[in-house]
């Protein structure tokens, strides 16, 4: 198989909890000839996948190394505490860190929140993953603080969550290596930024010196004619098509009706 036989593709990685469905749908509508390959990877593995060339761009959690990656922040998630359904904090609409002072707050090794001081009491050991921590919460061993999307991703009937105020938040961004900004990356940037299908930002602009035809397309005047369609050097004529009469051009103008 030669290089010309390979169909163009755009490889996108994304971290757990991020839902790229809307952007993927728009991509498939606008780029039917360019396949989009989606791969979910752990938050800590995104940088390696991008730098190794295994993906063109990634939906990541900030921060990223801005000396290596370009990044466009997309949104910031609400932080919640995941608890058993019979936990005391379920009686309120919003929880403060002080409300968790007597609880064991689990801190998984793949935590995506940047804590200065974790609330509550520390566990004897840190769970390896957020999924493991969810199992411990269900077993009544502690509570877990995560971005809302991760709480939804690991939803269980025996667990619920409440917003946690005064806690770190997680922001999601589109990131890619600075030295590999491809046309496909530019196209996906346009989608996540909400540009319309007719937007030409980042693409070569059409020739603005040409005239416009009735369909909106640009066209150059034919040789020997101006943009209005008259032959170059042609004289204005009256109704009969003859040249203007002597004494001025008044006879060639329409008369006013009384």
Name the band, by pLDDT with cuts 50, 70 and 90, for residue 199: low
Looking at the predicted structure, is the pLDDT value of residue 232 above 80? Answer: no
With a cut of 60, say whether residue 136 has pLDDT above it.
Answer: yes
End-to-end Cα, the chain, rounded Å: 82
The residues, ordered by sequence, that sit 6+ positions from 12 with a Cβ below 8 Å of its Cβ are 20, 36, 37, 38, 39, 55, 56, 57, 58, 59, 188
- pLDDT at 220 (0 to 100): 47
238, pLDDT greater than 50: no
Rounded CA separation 124/101 (Å):
16
Per-residue model confidence (pLDDT) at position 256:
53
Q: Which of 7-11, 111-115, 166-170, 202-206 has the lowest mean pLDDT?
A: 202-206
Virtual torsion, Cα 100, 106, 108, 114, nearest 10 deg: 20
pTM beyond cutoff 0.75: no
Euclidean distance between CA atoms 226 and 194, whole angstroms: 40
Q: Which pLDDT value is given to residue 163?
A: 98
Share of the chain above pLDDT 90, in %: 71
pLDDT in tens, 31-72: 999 999 999 999 989 999 999 999 999 999 999 999 999 999
Q: At what angle do helices 21-30 and 183-192 cross, to 10 degrees?
A: 120
What pLDDT was estimated at residue 223?
52
DSSP string, 151-201: HHHT--TTEEEEEBSSS---EEEEEEETT---HHHHHHHHHHTT--TT--T
Q: Tell me if 134 sits within 8 A of 154, measured CB to CB.
A: yes
Give 211's pLDDT tier (boundaries 50, 70, 90): very low
Question: Residue 2 above 90 pLDDT?
Answer: no
For the chain, counts of helices (H) and of strands (E): 5, 11
Least confident stretch, 40-44, 79-83, 149-153, 213-217: 213-217
Tokens 């090794």 locate to: 109
Q: Is the pLDDT of residue 156 over 50?
A: yes
What is the mean pLDDT of the segment spanning 237-258?
A: 49
The predicted structure's pLDDT at residue 197:
76
pLDDT tier, 258 (very low <50, low <70, confident <90, very high otherwise): very low
Q: What is the average pLDDT across 16-43?
A: 95
Chain centroid, CA 130 distance in Å: 25
Sheet holding 171-177, edge to edge: 35-40, 9-14, 57-61, 171-177, 69-76
In this predicted structure, the answer to whether residue 95 has a pLDDT above a threshold of 60 is: yes
């Amino acid at each position: 198989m030669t290089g010309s036989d390979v169909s163009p593709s755009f490889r996108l990685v994304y971290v757990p909890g991020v839902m790229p469905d809307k952007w993927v749908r728009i991509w498939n509508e606008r780029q039917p000839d360019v396949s989009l390959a989606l791969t979910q990877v752990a938050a800590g593995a995104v940088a390696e996948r991008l730098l190794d060339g295994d993906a063109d761009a990634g939906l990541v959690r900030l921060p990223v190394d801005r000396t290596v990656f370009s990044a466009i922040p997309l949104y910031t998630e609400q932080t919640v505490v995941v608890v058993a359904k019979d936990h005391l904090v379920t009686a309120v609409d919003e929880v403060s860190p002080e409300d968790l002072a007597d609880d064991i707050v689990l801190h998984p090794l793949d935590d995506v929140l940047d804590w200065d001081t974790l609330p509550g009491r520390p566990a004897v050991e840190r769970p390896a993953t957020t999924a493991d921590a969810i199992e411990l919460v269900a077993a009544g061993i502690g509570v877990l603080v995560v971005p809302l999307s991760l709480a939804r991703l690991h939803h269980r009937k025996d667990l619920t969550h409440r917003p946690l105020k005064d806690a770190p938040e997680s922001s999601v961004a589109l990131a890619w290596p600075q030295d590999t900004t491809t046309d496909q990356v530019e196209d996906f940037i346009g989608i996540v930024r909400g540009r319309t299908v007719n937007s030409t930002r980042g693409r070569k602009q059409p020739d603005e010196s040409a005239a416009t035809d009735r369909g909106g397309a640009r066209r150059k005047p034919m040789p020997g004619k101006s943009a209005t369609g008259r032959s170059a050097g042609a004289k204005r004529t009256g109704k009969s098509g003859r040249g203007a009469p002597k004494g001025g051009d008044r006879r060639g103008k329409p008369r006013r009706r009384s």
